[in-house]
Amino acid sequence: MKTTKIFADRNLIVGKVQPTLYGSFIEHLGRAVYEGIYEPGHPTADQDGFRGDVISLIQELNVPIVRYPGGNFVSGYDWRDGIGPKEKRPVRLDLAWHTTEPNEFGTDEFMKWCKKTGITPMMAVNMGTGSVKDAAQLVEYCNHAGGTTISDYRRANGSEEPYNVKYWCIGNEMDGPWQIGHLTADEYGKKALEAAKVMRWTNGETEKEAAGERLKLIVTGSSSHEMKTFPEWDRIVLEHTYKQIDYLSMHRYYEYDEESDHPLEDFLGAADDMSEYIKTLKATIEYVRAKVRSKKQVHISFDEWNIWTQSAERTEPLWKRAPHLLEDVYTFRDMLVFAGLMNTLLNNCDIVHVACLAQLVNVIAPIMTEKGGRAFRQTIFYPFKYLSNTARGETVRTFSDSDTFENQYGKARYLNEAVNFDPETRTLVVSLCNYAQEKRGVELELRSFGELKAKEYVEMTSSDLGAVNGFGAENVAPHEKDLPAVKDGSRVSLVLPPMSWSYLRFQA
Ligand code: AHR
């Protein structure tokens, strides 16, 4: 059996994990909103129609921030359609997903849902068919106290107090030809700069000060590093907007492709590939920061990431309300890659300050529901749950002598790890993926954390890489292991099953 040595030292800190690293995303797409978070008449729904069973599962995931209302949807969306008396709201064609949008759920309902769940809203404005004025007026609707026609609409619609929304995405995937109102980098950069400026003014901010909290503004970066325009798109957009914004967004979905030469290796290479992608954008940010002579540090908002079988065919007809779209049922294999992606986010937490698992319910999501009925946890639910609940401190740099395998992106490590230490609770968390098809020994050398006591050890393993969960059948779930011995307070020897994810928690 091969053994990999992994070394981590308390003093070698990558960065603090921002709580917003564990964000997620709800789009008006398929059954994410309707039959997902919102289903009046469902046995667990409250008086506002919010599904209680779904809220409980989201709370289990401990998601602190949710991006809304899209996604591609936002680029054709007029936020005014989603406010006011429900019976008067227009029913529209959604050209992003070719569905019918009833607008029964809109900004006020989302804010109410956020308040109920304790989740921070992260709003996106329309930079496709929408104007700078539309974006600024949505800020006014959400954040202005009152006394103007637009802010008084909000008050009339039931919210006397402003929502004080802080996080704003200026558009979505504007580099993609599939986007409604797609722009060139130069066009988008100019428009985003104006939107940012005017949104800040509307929020009562001057260059130096703000009436309330300053907005956290996110410009649209590349939709993936496979875009022909990557990374020029990012450079150009940043050059236009650097001084006005706080984050550059990035998106990436990975897919298991049976047609590829080495399907398994090519899929398992995702975590290390995502790391390279982040590093390129980090370097792009640094380049632009030097070029525009700014002392400010722009961070990354990785506001769409997940596994998504994009090649799956659509089976639902056009223009249906809340159709079953993008309802990927995640396999054990998907979970393995997903856990590696989480490790990558943790290992890059110095630059990635916001990340949104896309999405949260029904649409490429960890939670699935049936209309009027049950909900279940997908395989990917678990790594998110364990890490989101405990890996909240500082990521510590690791050194590993793992061997590597070839894949479509280059080389990737068989042993993929992340180590996180919370100095407040003195909790040390280790997340380990074994991508080898044989069991592997691991020697953890965890120095200078103090005397460690093992508190929790869970493992996800399966003889069937294609195993999935379903309603009443959550077969793919972590199981508890006997706690490992800690030698000399800091050394731990483990044996990881082939193709597995392991999670360990220690108290220092
Ligand atoms: O999350 C699904 C879609 O993926 C989003 O609408 C879009 O932004 C991305 O292409």
Residue 239: the pLDDT is 98
175 Cβ closer than 6 Å to some ligand 1 atom: no
Is there a contact between 277 and 329 (Cβ–Cβ < 8 Å)? no
Spatial strand order in the sheet of 427-434: 479-480, 453-461, 500-507, 427-434, 415-422, 394-400, 3-16, 440-447, 491-496
The residue whose C-alpha atom lies closest to atom 4 belonging to ligand 1 is 71
Question: Where do the domains of the chain lie?
Answer: 3-10+396-507, 18-359+370-376
- Please list the residues that pair with 67 across neighbouring strands: 25, 122
70 Cβ closer than 6 Å to some ligand 1 atom: yes
H or E element that contains 299: strand 299-307
Q: What is the pLDDT along the chain (508 residues), one digit of tens a residue?
A: 999 999 999 999 999 999 999 999 999 999 999 999 999 999 999 999 999 999 999 999 999 999 999 999 999 999 999 999 999 999 999 999 999 999 999 999 999 999 999 999 999 999 999 999 999 999 999 999 999 999 999 999 999 999 999 999 999 999 999 999 999 999 999 999 999 999 999 999 987 777 778 999 999 999 999 999 999 999 999 999 999 999 999 999 999 999 998 999 999 999 999 999 999 999 999 999 999 999 999 999 999 999 999 988 999 999 999 999 999 999 999 999 999 999 999 999 999 999 999 999 999 999 999 999 999 999 999 999 999 999 999 999 999 999 999 999 999 999 999 999 999 999 999 999 999 999 999 999 998 999 999 999 999 999 999 999 999 999 999 999 999 999 999 999 999 999 999 999 999 9
Q: Catalytic pick from 101, 109, 194, 304?
A: 304
Pairing of strands 65-68, 3-16: unpaired
Encoded tokens for 208:
């130096």
Residue among 414, 223, 393 nearest 308 (CA): 223
Residues 6+ apart with CB under 8 A from 464: 332
Residues constituting the chain: 508
Is 239 one of the annotated active-site residues of the chain? no
24 Cβ closer than 6 Å to some ligand 1 atom: no
Q: Do domains 3-10+396-507 and 18-359+370-376 have the same CATH topology?
A: no
Residue 242: the pLDDT is 97
Residue 210: the pLDDT is 76
The residue whose C-alpha atom lies closest to atom 8 belonging to ligand 1 is 71
Alpha carbon of 508 to ligand 1 centroid (Å): 41
Q: Which fold is adopted by the domain 18-359+370-376?
A: TIM Barrel (3.20.20)
Alpha carbon of 251 to ligand 1 centroid (Å): 9
The residue whose C-alpha atom lies closest to atom 7 belonging to ligand 1 is 71
Residue 212: the pLDDT is 73
Mutate-to-test residue for ligand 1 from 304, 311, 362, 364, highest number of ligand atoms within 8 A of CB: 304
Residue 207: the pLDDT is 72
Tokens 């483990």 map to which residue?
494
220 Cβ closer than 6 Å to some ligand 1 atom: no
The residue whose C-alpha atom lies closest to atom 6 belonging to ligand 1 is 71
The model carries a pTM of: 0.97
Is 406 one of the annotated active-site residues of the chain? no
Three-state SS at 352: strand
328 Cβ closer than 6 Å to some ligand 1 atom: no
30 Cβ closer than 6 Å to some ligand 1 atom: no
**CA-to-CA distance for 87 and 83, rounded, in angstroms?**
11
Alpha carbon of 345 to ligand 1 centroid (Å): 19
Q: Which fold is adopted by the domain 3-10+396-507?
A: Immunoglobulin-like (2.60.40)
Alpha carbon of 341 to ligand 1 centroid (Å): 18
Residues 6+ apart with CB under 8 A from 9: 396, 397, 447, 448
The residue whose C-alpha atom lies closest to atom 2 belonging to ligand 1 is 71
